[in-house]
């Protein structure tokens, strides 16, 4: 016995419309993009305009990645960063600076670091020798042994 299936145009259009909605919804989900990441480079200067070498640069919340400025005060952060991430700059005797990567980042950031007014003005370390034990040599004994073998 043969069974005949009848599908009307009305039912077919409903199925097609539902399939279209499912495809559009999954396409919208696929459009969620990763944030753009950029390589941050720049120059670190003191408040008098001189470049600062050996300034520590690291990403806030990170313990195992960072950079150090070269002798001309220039740096390149080793990993690309997204907008909103924070770089921290620190140097002995200078105030710590935070830099938030902007959405419209342009290469060549300039960081100005000021003198830390709360640092210790002067630190004097005085060392004094301390005698713990005195070693006496037996020079006389060695002379007697030397004379005995003559």
Specify the CATH superfamily of domain 37-115: Carboxypeptidase-like, regulatory domain (2.60.40.1120)
The CA–CA distances, whole Å, from 71 to 52, 55, 82, 104, 136 equal: 7, 10, 27, 28, 52
Under 8 Å between Cβ of 110 and 46: no
**Range among 2-6, 13-17, 47-51 rated most confident:** 47-51
Rg (C-alpha) for the chain, rounded Å, is: 37
At 90 the three-state DSSP class reads strand
Whether residue 52 has pLDDT greater than 60: yes
Q: How is the chain split into domains, by residue range?
A: 37-115
Residue 79's pLDDT is what?
Answer: 93
Q: Report d(CA 144, CA 139) in Å as an integer.
A: 9
Q: Which of 90, 98, 99, 86 is nearest to 119 (CA)?
A: 90
**Who has greater pLDDT, 144 or 57?**
57
Convert the pLDDT of each residue in 60-114 to its tens digit.
Answer: 998 888 999 999 999 999 999 999 999 999 998 899 999 999 988 888 899 999 8
Instruction: Report how many helices (DSSP H) and strands (DSSP E) the chain contains, helices first.
Output: 2, 9
Residue 70 CB partners (closer than 8 Å, separation 6+): 53
**pLDDT range class, residue 46, cuts 50, 70, 90:** very high
């Amino acid at each position: 016995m043969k069974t005949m299936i009848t599908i009307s145009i009305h039912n077919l259009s409903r199925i097609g419309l539902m399939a279209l909605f499912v495809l559009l919804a999954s396409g919208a989900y696929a459009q969620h993009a990763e944030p753009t990441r950029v390589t941050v480079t720049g120059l670190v200067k003191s408040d008098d305009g001189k470049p600062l070498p050996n300034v520590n640069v690291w990403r806030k919340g990170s313990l195992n990645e960072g950079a150090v400025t070269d002798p001309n005060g220039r740096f390149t952060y080793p990993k690309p960063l997204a907008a909103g991430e924070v770089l921290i700059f620190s140097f002995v005797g200078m105030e710590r600076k935070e830099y938030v990567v902007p959405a419209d980042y342009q290469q060549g950031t300039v960081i100005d670091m000021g003198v830390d007014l709360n640092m210790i003005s002067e630190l004097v370390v005085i060392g004094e020798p301390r005698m713990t034990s005195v070693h006496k040599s037996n020079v006389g004994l060695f002379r007697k042994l030397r004379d005995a073998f003559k």
